[in-house]
Amino acid sequence: MAIVYDTFQRDEAERLLPLLKVDDPQRVVAMHDGDAITAAQFLAHVQHIAAQLPDASAAVNLCEDRYAFMVAFCAIALRGQANLLPPSRAPHAVDEVMAAHPGCHAVGDRSMDPAPHRYLVLPPLTVDATAATQTEWPSIPAMQTVAIGYTSGSTGTPRPNTKSWHSFNASTAGNLRMLQQVVGERFAVVATVPPQHIYGIEMSVLLPLLGDVQVHSGRPFFPSDIASALEQMPEPRVLVTTPVHLRALVESRVHLPKLAAMLSATAPMPAELAAQAEKCFDAPLLEVFGSTETCAFATRRVTIDSQWSLYHGVHLHPQPDGTQIEAPQLDAPVTLADIVTLHDDGRRFELRGRHADLLEIAGKRASLGDLTRRLLAIPGVNDGVVFQLDEADAIGIRRIAALVVAPALSEHAILDALRASIDPVFLPRPLRRVDTLPRNETGKLPRAALLDLLARHTAV
């Protein structure tokens, strides 16, 4: 097995893969500031920025505009550097990542104060009609590290994950195959998720680079802005979003232009919300399952089937503490903490929870995910989460806590409602009402932020 793997590594190290899929230099890859950007114009921007980058092994890509991020992403890769993708653009998160990569620099599309060390602000990316004559299309080594993505920190300290250009090509092939089966060969994407997140890169950066896809450069937040961005894009349209953003869209009752599909990730999609979204926007809601470590490797449409279907070439192997994953985008198997049950000869699976979420107290078992679902099912609860504390009590049991957004309910009323549906040993104590949960840009809840919020409300 080691010999086969070493041979694969040598062969891949010598292979070159195109930086941009180009069947037609006039293929539109993005809509930026009202302008349709062709493949030739995009590459001219990439080469112009690449020439301005300093020598280094890596660069933090802080561009907020999606098109600027794409240009910087490819320029950094073209210079043989890795895109560093911190879990957030907060100064402390950027500083920690830069400290872990001595000599790196940073790139952004707007001024920052304070600015990171060796920070380059991109010049305006204006459209140049002469770029349409571009004939040289660069390639980069398949095994070159093009990105180092950091986990969100929802289960602890953010961890780095290295991505090669071969890995991104393989994962994108699976994502394209999944979407094309639903919406056709060509489509346009509007995304509400940041491009720095691995889900954002997969579905709004790599798709237009490696498929016949065009993307809107913005990251619309408010429902009316999402509708406006979709209106600017041609059919068929795909909205890339999250459960948090989708709930806001449904509750706003906004009218959206015709959609071919909606795509969600970063958190489980409640079946009720999925049904509401499909009814409101008359389009199928697809989910993808994956992680920063693996990229997407499975999909489902929860309004039809709660089970997940694996991408082509993906195999799961249940372990005592999680699930081992083999996939075309992985150089070696990866084990995640998710517990699954396989069906249909391993082609489909049900998610049973995460190993770290499983609780056993006084001989009884539960999961944090199920407890959170029961909390959210209480009428009057707008948002909430149940989690386990790090410290054990006097008898060695780690307590369960909860943070809840429920303006019309008292903490006692919430606990009484929970008492009707869960065993008393799993009642969260403390349970604190808060104005809002500390969700990040993709709707996830970093553990450190939860603990800090709980501490501040407990001290009051």
- Which CATH number goes with the domain that contains 403? 3.30.300.30
Q: Look at residues 261, 279, 306 and tell me which one is the last residue of a structural domain.
A: 306
Residues 35, 19: Cα–Cα separation, whole Å: 22
pTM score, whole prediction: 0.83
Residues 42 and 175 in one domain: yes
Residues 295 and 401 in one domain: no
Q: Report the pLDDT averaged over residues 115-142.
A: 80
Task: Judge whether 317 lies within some domain.
Answer: no
Residues 235, 187: Cα–Cα separation, whole Å: 7
Residue labelled with tokens 């691995």: 198
pLDDT score of 17 more than 50: yes
Residues 57, 80: Cα–Cα separation, whole Å: 7
pLDDT band at 457 (very low <50, low <70, confident <90, very high): confident
Task: Judge whether 3 lies within some domain.
Answer: no
Task: Judge whether 356 lies within some domain.
Answer: no
Q: Per residue in 178-232, pLDDT tens?
A: 999 999 999 999 999 999 899 999 999 999 999 999 999 999 999 999 999 999 9
Residues 387 and 276 in one domain: no
Residues 161 and 248 in one domain: yes
Nearest C-alpha neighbor of 215 from the set 44, 27, 40: 27
The boundaries of the domain holding residue 214 are 13-306
Q: Report the pLDDT averaged over residues 265-278.
A: 90
Residues 83 and 213 in one domain: yes
Cβ pair 299, 308 in contact under 8 A: yes
pLDDT score of 438 more than 50: yes
What is the pLDDT at residue 113? 85
Task: Judge whether 6 lies within some domain.
Answer: no
Sign (positive/negative) of CA torsion 10, 15, 17, 23? negative
- Tally of structural domains, the chain: 2
Q: Look at residues 261, 284, 306 and tell me which one is the last residue of a structural domain.
A: 306
Task: Judge whether 332 lies within some domain.
Answer: no
Residues 42 and 165 in one domain: yes
Q: Look at residues 289, 306, 323 and tell me which one is the last residue of a structural domain.
A: 306
Residues 22 and 141 in one domain: yes
Tell how far CA 210 is from the center of its chain: 18
Q: Per residue in 21-60, pLDDT tens?
A: 988 899 999 999 999 999 999 999 999 999 999 999 999 9
pLDDT score of 156 more than 90: no
Q: Report the pLDDT averaged over residues 303-321.
A: 94
Residues 284 and 374 in one domain: no
Cβ pair 297, 311 in contact under 8 A: yes
Cβ pair 408, 419 in contact under 8 A: no
Residues 455 and 387 in one domain: yes
Residues 104 and 190 in one domain: yes
Task: Judge whether 65 lies within some domain.
Answer: yes
Nearest C-alpha neighbor of 34 from the set 128, 127, 156: 127
Residue labelled with tokens 């020439």: 51
365: which strand partners?
360
- The CATH number covering residue 145 comes to 3.40.50.12780
Q: Per residue in 287-296, pLDDT tens?
A: 999 999 999 9
Residues 272 and 200 in one domain: yes
- At 4, list the tokens: 């086969």
Task: Judge whether 344 lies within some domain.
Answer: no
Q: Per residue in 187-199, pLDDT tens?
A: 999 999 999 899 9
b/e per residue, 322-358, with b = 16+ CB within 10 A?
bbebebbbbeeebebbbbbebeeeebbbebbbbbebb
Task: Judge whether 451 lies within some domain.
Answer: yes
